[in-house]
Amino acid sequence: MKSVKIQVVNRHGIHCRPSSVIVKEMMPFKSHLLVQSAAGKADPRRILDLITLGLKCGDSATLSANGEDEAAAILRLESLFKTEFDFPKT
């Protein structure tokens, strides 16, 4: 099992657009995936789960992956939560 603690960097948090990208990117992974915050737990393959967490910029969450591709899955999931979707740097 791999896990990492992150801080949300997207200025408007994890709303519909970032959630849809996260869900799409996590679908190919076979490992059990979980996002856990003070608001609860979410499967990052389920858009409503992610949106319901209500993660805002600066919020902390723990990402975990358990399974055959856990290392790759956790790296990709972490990179997505560190992405600025609303105001990308150019």
CATH of the domain at 11: 3.30.1340.10
- Domain around 45: 2-81
CA angle, residues 28, 21, 75, in degrees to nearest 5: 60
Whether residue 86 is contained in a domain is answered as no
Instruction: Tell whether the model's pLDDT for residue 8 goes beyond 70.
Output: yes
Which amino acid is it at 50? L
Whether residue 90 is contained in a domain is answered as no
pLDDT value at position 66?
Answer: 98
Instruction: Tell whether the model's pLDDT for residue 88 goes beyond 80.
Output: no
Q: How far apart are CA 65 and CA 52, in angstroms?
A: 20
Nearest to 3 by CA among 42, 35, 49, 48: 35
Whether residue 65 is contained in a domain is answered as yes
Whether residue 62 is contained in a domain is answered as yes
Mean pLDDT of 29-46: 98
Describe the strand order of the beta sheet including 40-42 as a list of residue ranges: 2-7, 60-66, 32-37, 40-42
pLDDT value at position 22?
Answer: 97
Model confidence band, residue 89 (pLDDT cutoffs 50, 70, 90) = low
Whether residue 87 is contained in a domain is answered as no
Whether residue 88 is contained in a domain is answered as no
Question: In 3-state terms, what secondary structure has residue 2?
Answer: strand
Q: Which residues pair with 7 in a beta bridge?
A: 60
Instruction: Tell whether the model's pLDDT for residue 62 goes beyond 70.
Output: yes
Model confidence, pTM:
0.93
Whether residue 23 is contained in a domain is answered as yes
Number of domains in the chain: 1
Whether residue 45 is contained in a domain is answered as yes
